[in-house]
Structures are given as C-alpha cells and as structure tokens.
Structure 1
Amino acid sequence: MSKVKEAINMTRDEVQAAIEEYPVAILPIGATEQHGHHLPLGVDIYLAEGISKRICERTGALLLPALPFGYSWVWRDIPGTISLQQHHVEAIIKDVAHSVNRYGVKTLIIVNGHDANNASMKYATRELTDELDMNVVYLFYPELESMMAKHCESKTWHGMIHACEIETSLMLALKPELVNMSKAVREYPEKPALYGKSSISLGQLSKSGVYGDATLASKAKGEKLLESFVEKMVELVNSVSENSK
C-alpha cells in the first residue's frame, strides 16, 4: 500500500505531480448530525474519510478534504446538527468537480457516508456529464444488504442504516475512542403509513436517534465490513480510472 496523498497537506507542486502520475481524485462527503447518544456527530464524516483513505492507499488517488456538511433536515432541531439545503450539496459537488478538472483531474470519485446525500450526488453527476469531459462516480456502501447479511446479526430499519450495528461497528474499527457502547441501544421505530409520502421525518420517529440495533456492534464486525466495502470500491475505482490514464 502506498502513502495517502492528502491534498490539504501537499504543496501545489506535489499536487500537480500526483495528478500527472494518476489523474484521479477522491472526495469524501458526510454530515454533521446526531447519531444516538453513543456516537459523535461526525460519524458520516469519519466513515467516508476513513474509507476514502484506504481506497487512496490502494490506488494512488489524490485525497481531497472531506465535506463535513450534508442534507440533514430531519435532525435540524438537535444541538450540533448542521444542515445544507439539498441543492446546495449538489452545487458544492459540482464546484469541486469543476475546480479539480481545470488542473488535470480526469476522474472524480465521490465517497459518501450519509444516505441523504445520495440524491445530490446523483443529480450533480448527471449535470456534470453534460458540462465536463471528466468521469464522475459516486459510491455509498456498495452491496450494503448482502454485506450486512454476511457480517451482521441485526436487520436494517426498512433498508436504512443510522447509528445502528453497521455504523457503530465501523466506528469501533476506525474511531473507537469516540464510541460509548454503554449508551448503545436497540430501537426499531414504527413506520407511519405516510412516512416517505409527507413531511413526517426520521427526527419524529426515534426516541434514541438509533435505527437498528447498536448493541450488537463490535470492532471485529467493523473491520470485516470496512475491508469488504473498501475492496469493492477499489474494484470500481480501478475499472473507471483505466479510462483516465
């Protein structure tokens, strides 16, 4: 594995040399929002950045600074939450893409740690296709359901993960000092009939902020999940970056 090329710690000359050697950049994006009483607000940032660093180690891609804010409307009343409007997240992604493309990046990989950013990534990528001669790929926990079935004991809350076994396990593997398992809980809130069809939000349903079973999390599970996600993402990055050389 090679040393991670972190753009924020490099000089302009080092960045130029890195791009000339391998014109691929990775942008981690996350959110600053509640993740129950046992996890920090920065879970989505830490996970996106941690996965991105491992992808960079194995590919030689340039690591861009992580975007720490996302679309977090559902938690907007909880202290510490910072929420951008959905179209602002999309605009920031596009601005980053236009910026790095100007000095030679041919492929931008967006690694997301926050489910609600997925729509912004999708539509930004579509618009960029018509604006730039550059590959843009967006990734969010590939094959999540099968990975969870293989490595975890609990089920998702209607296909969604939040402060649950999977995120808590990943945090135990990446940032164990920020996890307080004595406060971890299991909660599967009832899903109202109008959820997803009205303004009823996650912030109104869960008492703990957990959607799933965080009590079953472990570092061992997190390390297996992390390796599985990274391995799959590296395959995807390599497949698209072949066109960037």
Structure 2
Amino acid sequence: MAKVKEIINMTRDEVAAAIEEFPVAILPLGATEQHGHHLPLGVDIFLAEGLSKKICEKTGAILLPSLPFGYSWVWRDIPGTVSLQQHHVEAVIKDIAHSLNRYGVKTLILVNGHDSNNSSMKYATRELQDEVEMDMIYLFYPDIQHVMKQNCDSETWHGMIHACEFETSLMLALKPELVDMSKAVKEYPDQPPLYGKSTISLGDLSKSGVFGDATLASKEKGERLLQTFIDKMVELVKLATRDIKK
C-alpha cells in the first residue's frame, strides 16, 4: 500500500514533485459538533479524514489538512460546537481550490463527512467551474441508503444519519478508543408538523443528540461499511482522473 502524501508533513519541494507526478488533491470536510454522549465532537472530521487517507493510499492523490468546521447551526448552543455560516463554508472551499490551482493541481476531490456541507460543496464547485481550470468532484457516502440497508439493522430517522448505528459503527472501525458504548442510546424523536418548514431544528428535538439506534453499532459493521465506501469512492476518483497521467 502506498504511503499517504500528507501535504501538511511535506516540504515545498516534495509537494511540487508530488503534483508533477499526479496533480490530484483530496480535501476532507468535517464539522465540530455534538454526536450524543457516546461519541466525540470530531466524528465528521475523523470519518472524512479516515476515508480520504484510504483513497489516497489507493490512488496516489495528495491529502490536504481536514476542514474541521462546517455549518452546524442546529447544535449551536451545545458546548463544543463550532459553526460557520453556510456561505462561509462555500467560500473556504473556493479559496482552497483557487490556491491549489495556482501551482498546478488539476483535480480536487472533496470528501465530506457532514451532511450539511453538501450544499456548500455543490454550489462552490458550480461557481469554480467558471473560475478555474480544475476538475472537481464531491463525495458523500455514495449510495448510502442502499449500503445502509445491506449493513445496518436499524431504521434511520427520516433518512438522516447522526450519532446513530451507522456513524457509531464507522467510528468503532476507525477510532474505537473515542467511542463509549456504555453511553450509546436509541432515540427516534417525534417530528413536529412544522419541522423543515420553520426554524425548529434538530437541537430542539433530541434529548440525547442521537437520531436512530446507536446501541446496535459494531466494529464489524463499521469495517464492512468503510470498505464498501472506500471501494466506491476509489472507483469514482479513478474515473474522474482517468485522463491524468501518473
């Protein structure tokens, strides 16, 4: 397995050589927000970074430092949460892309671990299409609903994932030392009629911060989920970079 080229640990000469060899970079996007009482606030960072490292190992892409903050408005009153405005997340993505474009990166891959970053990724890449000569793709757990049906035993809360069996299993596979399963719970909060049509937020609904059944999580499920997503993402990255010589 190839060693991951982490730009934060490289010299300017090493980065220049890596770009000359394969001008593709991966940016993990996360968030710092509550994930129940059994998981750390950095779940979305750890998952995005873990997936990104595996993709880099298999493709030779350069790994950028993870973006640790996202749009986390719904948890803004819970200690530890740090939330950026949605358009600020978009602006940061764009600034990073413009920086990379200046010295020859040809493709930027966004690997996201935080659902609320998806809109920022989508609109940032659309605007960048008209601003830089760089290809971009953005990934968030490809075919997630199908993969979850195959590997998870619990239902989602209205299609959402947060501190549930899915995320807890992935964390048990990647960062088990940060998971306290003795505090894992099952919670499916009632959904008010005005949810999604008003300022009622997730933070108003759940007592535990869990949306789903975290008690059913396991390392084995997490490893299966992780490998499935890695395979799917590597395939997509190779497709996006097939015309780039390595």
Please tell me the TM-score bracket, short chain as reference.
over 0.9
Does residue 52 (structure 1) correspond to residue 42 (structure 2)? The answer is no
**Structure 1 position 194, deviation (Å):** 1.2
Q: Give the counterpart letter for 1:156 in structure 2.
A: T
What is the alpha-carbon distance in structure 1 between the residues aligned to residue 230 and residue 137 of structure 2?
15
Q: Secondary structure at the match of 1:149?
A: helix
TM-score by length of 2: 0.99
Unaligned runs of 5+ in 2: none
What is the alpha-carbon distance in structure 1 between the residues aligned to residue 195 and residue 109 of structure 2?
32
Please list the CA deviations of residues 4-42 of structure 1 after superposition, one character each: whole Å capped at 9, or x if unmatched.
000000000101111111110000010000000000000
Q: Contact 1:25–1:62 (CA<8 Å) still a contact in 2?
A: yes
Match of 2:161 in 1: 161
What is the alpha-carbon distance in structure 2 between the residues aligned to residue 17 and residue 202 of structure 1?
46
Q: Give the counterpart letter for 2:51 in structure 1.
A: I
Q: Percent identity?
A: 77
Does residue 128 (structure 1) correspond to residue 136 (structure 2)? The answer is no
Please list the CA deviations of residues 136-159 of structure 1 after superposition, one character each: whole Å capped at 9, or x if unmatched.
111000000011000110111111
The runs of 4+ residues in structure 1 deviating greater than 6 Å are none
What does residue range 55-134 of structure 1 map to in structure 2 within 5 Å? 55-134=55-134
**Structure 1 position 220, deviation (Å):** 0.3
Q: Contact 1:107–1:244 (CA<8 Å) still a contact in 2?
A: no
Q: Give the counterpart letter for 1:15 in structure 2.
A: V
**Structure 1 position 192, deviation (Å):** 1.2
Match of 1:6 in 2: 6
Match of 1:235 in 2: 235
Please list the CA deviations of residues 188-236 of structure 1 after superposition, one character each: whole Å capped at 9, or x if unmatched.
1111111111111000000000001000000000000000001000000
**Structure 1 position 242, deviation (Å):** 1.2
Q: Secondary structure at the match of 1:136?
A: strand
Unaligned runs of 5+ in 1: none
Q: Secondary structure at the match of 2:28?
A: strand
TM-score by length of 1: 0.99
Match of 1:189 in 2: 189
Q: Contact 1:181–1:215 (CA<8 Å) still a contact in 2?
A: yes
Q: CA RMSD in A?
A: 0.6
Q: Contact 1:186–1:211 (CA<8 Å) still a contact in 2?
A: yes
Q: Give the counterpart letter for 2:152 in structure 1.
A: C
Q: Secondary structure at the match of 1:67?
A: coil
Please list the CA deviations of residues 94-140 of structure 1 after superposition, one character each: whole Å capped at 9, or x if unmatched.
00000011111000000000000000000000000011111111100
Match of 1:198 in 2: 198
